[in-house]
Structure 1
């Protein structure tokens, strides 16, 4: 964080170019910079300490709380919520979870900020002991939130290093947090995934949409589609888009967005990306992949390489797995790449690559 921002950004470009140096056909577009501070739209805060003096932040190596309420990468609108969270912990007598002792109730508070200003607040509890108190206080709590906000309670009974459990109860009538990226409404449910940097997410979707529109395919698959960002931005009259995502919550959110836009030829399914591709029985003109850090599977790489897919857009948060996958896609020529600084003040970044099937 002591490195000047432009030097940080250039270091990421250099790192990516080094990892992809074997692909001499690849040209790099100028990197997409981010705001240096206050860019993070999500705060996953561990609650520790005591009811009277709660700590909102992370845990150190011994399991003691480190307060991060003034963390510079978190959006100021989220930081403004921390005093409200603290006040309700005290007033409702919520008991923070003590990790070393494995006692207590309130484990985490997860906050997500929309570009509309609305906030999703998720209280993560060990048991239902404090649930009634949180539900009863909802009218007073919602008064402290911007319009369009969502409040839920998640239950994580196990003692393990995860942020949330499977059971979630939404307390507000509104069940999704709405974003408005590039004029496209997108919806996030409590257990759905959304990029942590809204500014760069919008730029990433614009870049992919530009490349898709340049080649103008009749059909597009968006694999690992999440809440449908790439698919929704790629939709156009006469073009069928298919979003494939394992999370049923994310798929429902994508369907909500598509319906609000009147996209009758946008289809979203909850299924494994590799399984879908191998069993579809047909191939689209273009495929967008946005996999987790491990990259796409060897089976999906092989299927793509042997398919009739003409164009691939690969959005990656791990250039090392990207380099491996590009080598597997030997029947394609990587043409353009662009580093998108999704994670300023860290060594991580997103990179998006445009590939075209090589001439026979």
Structure 2
């Protein structure tokens, strides 16, 4: 066992502790804390430690956390820090990363913009049914820190408002009294799975969705009538005194083995299955499974920052074509619509694209088009060339080959919105090598109390548009692509030993988020199923994840290829979500 003082915390959540002449990374810490830990990994001059105990608080911390679940629940690591200190810490982490690749980063860094709300800011929560200890009473809430199985009933959580807490409390109390079992992931038995709650900030409408299996409901030795059970739950909810109004109470069926909220059929128990939310003067229809920023007021700050950075690049003449790449539900595209001739959004998630089309119609925006597909592939099929590009990629950043295509458009300016500054750092290095100059950098705190931060960057073109990629930039892209190719070239039975730090890795593909063996191990541990590399590659292709062109394909056209069974497919998808590949 070791002890030491946390000297600083690097993004994301990596506390640095000096032990003799070496540095040890200890997660879930705050600068200035004295901690005890054990070193559980040491390789190639790097050491990682597992936190055992916080021996002394940092001088930066408040005396007590605002939330009673702090330290037990897996979220809100920074909650004991005053909000101004949280902002300083996040801004400092991003600036340190930017200084490594942007020559004048300190001069153009504009700090961090606050979330309008420090507490009660979330507009959506997905709670899980389970037990806090094995065979304990029914729990409903979040996973305990470091545990796949134990659930903490977060009935006093501070990142949601009081309506969420009342709904959670009433729900868990009702089903405890009825002695209704939760779904056991290993045994695939039980009824209760998840509770999804959404609330519109502007209209204060609430959607409540209970996710269950279709299994027969047994309480003790007797069976329960599902209709009567759900009617009783509905009446409990409608009797609550809430600040908002319940727009709909829903029941969704989900028999997937994956530990994720999945819609296999939804019935309306009360009201309707949607509500409307407003964002920067635009109206959005939200259903239980819609893709939407989970901090509505924070999203307004984020998008206002992006719009401010775009500034004069788009004018009232509306003569320019804008690409909104990784567009989600098209919020940015619709915000830019009045100042553009044509906005084209590209998003890989089909449900998000359908929502974007619906919302554009709702807001009577006729110059927005949305395409479902991988940016890497879709860019080749769009005939209309962009004058301006907005990039809002997922956490892993932009695929190197997609980034190469984006650079070749040679647009004068582009905006990059990033939810992971280490990925942003890597992509900016390539963009700058191609003549782009970083003009402005600003952070936006969308999730107070947590380690997460958004970053907005404005880039301008300072090279001849007609030139090809220069040697340095081409070499960087080739290096990133070769890393992907080296993994994709492995045969299914090959065994490789690797040591990758995903937060510092240059390659962006989901292929590098987890190895095939890690996916196999997760599926075996969580679901008790053995899956092959063939099945994993089949599911990856089905989900639109890049896999080598010939990886695990049959050697001849007539070869019989076994197809992944549904149960194993769901388990693999759960693993992909766990490793942030979906």
Of residues 156, 161, 168 in structure 2, which corresponds to 1:82?
168
How far did 1:68 drift? 0.8
Equivalent residue runs for 1:171-250 within 5 Å? 171=268, 174-216=272-314, 218-236=320-338, 239-250=341-352
2:103: which partner in 1?
24
2:453 maps to 349
Q: How far apart in 2 are the matches of 1:326 and 1:57? A: 39
Provide structure 1 residue ranges, at least 5 long, that are not aligned to the other structure: none
Whether 1:125 and 2:207 are equivalent positions in the alignment is no
1:54 correspondence with 2:138: yes
Say which SS state the counterpart of residue 192 (structure 1) adopts. Answer: coil
How has the CA–CA distance of structure 1 residues 28 and 237 changed in structure 2, closer, same or farther, with 3 Å as cutoff?
A: closer
Structure 2 residue runs of 5 or longer lacking an equivalent are 1-78, 218-225, 465-582
What per-residue deviation string (whole Å, max 9, x for no partner) do you get for residues 111-155 of structure 1? 122112112222222326466457756974774584473444333
Q: Tell which deviates more after alignment, 121-130 or 136-145.
A: 136-145
Runs of 4+ in 1 over 6 A off after TM superposition: none
Deviation at 1:240, TM superposition (A): 1.3
Residue 317 (str. 1) matches residue 419 (str. 2): yes
Determine if contact 1:221/1:242 at 8 Å carries over to the other structure. yes
User: Which has the larger Rg?
Assistant: 2
Q: Find the counterpart in structure 2 of residue 326 from structure 1.
A: 428
Task: Write out per-residue CA displacement over residues 187-215 of structure 1, whole angstroms, 9 at most, x where no aligned residue.
Answer: 23332322222221111111122233421
Q: Using the alignment, how far apart are the partners of 2:246 and 2:208 within structure 1? A: 12
Q: Is the 8 A contact 1:148 1:177 kept in 2?
A: no
The number of aligned residues is: 359
Which deviates more, 54-63 or 250-259? 54-63
Report which structure shows greater RCO (CA 8 Å, sep ≥6).
1
Alignment-derived partner of residue 54 in structure 2? none
Q: 1:214–1:132: structure 2 CA closer, same or farther, 3 Å change rule?
A: farther
2:441 maps to which residue?
A: 337
Aligned residues: CA RMSD = 2.8
Which whole-Å CA distance do the structure 1 matches of 2:267 and 2:328 have between them?
A: 20
Shift of 1:236: 0.7
Asked whether the 8 Å contact 1:244–1:270 carries over to 2, the reply is: yes
Instruction: Give the Cα separation in 2 of the matches to 1:238 and 1:222.
Output: 12
**Aligned-pair CA distance for 1:2:** 1.8
TM score, norm. by length of structure 2: 0.57
**Structure 2 CA distance for partners of 1:264 and 1:127, relative to 1, 3 Å:** same
Instruction: Tell me by how many angstroms 1:338 deviates.
Output: 1.0
Q: What corresponds to 1:169 in structure 2?
A: 266
Cα distance change, pair 318–62 in 1 and its aligned pair in 2 (3 A): closer
The answer on whether the counterparts of 1:55 and 1:65 sit within 8 Å (CA) in structure 2 is yes
Question: Structure 1 residues 237, 40: closer, same or farther in 2, change over 3 A?
Answer: closer
Partner residue in 2 for 1:40? 122
In structure 2, the CA distance between the partners of 1:153 and 1:334, relative to structure 1 (3 Å rule), is farther
> By how many angstroms is 1:359 displaced?
3.3
1:12 corresponds to 2:94: no
Q: Could you tell me how far 1:349 is from its partner in structure 2?
A: 0.7
1:45 is displaced (CA, Å) by: 1.0
Specify the SS of the correspondent of 1:327.
helix
SS in 1 for 2:95: helix
Provide the residue aligned with 2:353 in structure 1: 251
Q: Secondary structure at the match of 2:169?
A: helix
Residues 243 and 138 of structure 1: CA distance in aligned 2, closer, same or farther (over 3 Å): farther
Q: Quickly say closer, same or farther: Cα 1:101–1:300, change in 2 above 3 A.
A: same
Displacement of 1:166 after TM fit?
A: 4.6
1:280-295 matches, cutoff 5 A: 280-295=382-397
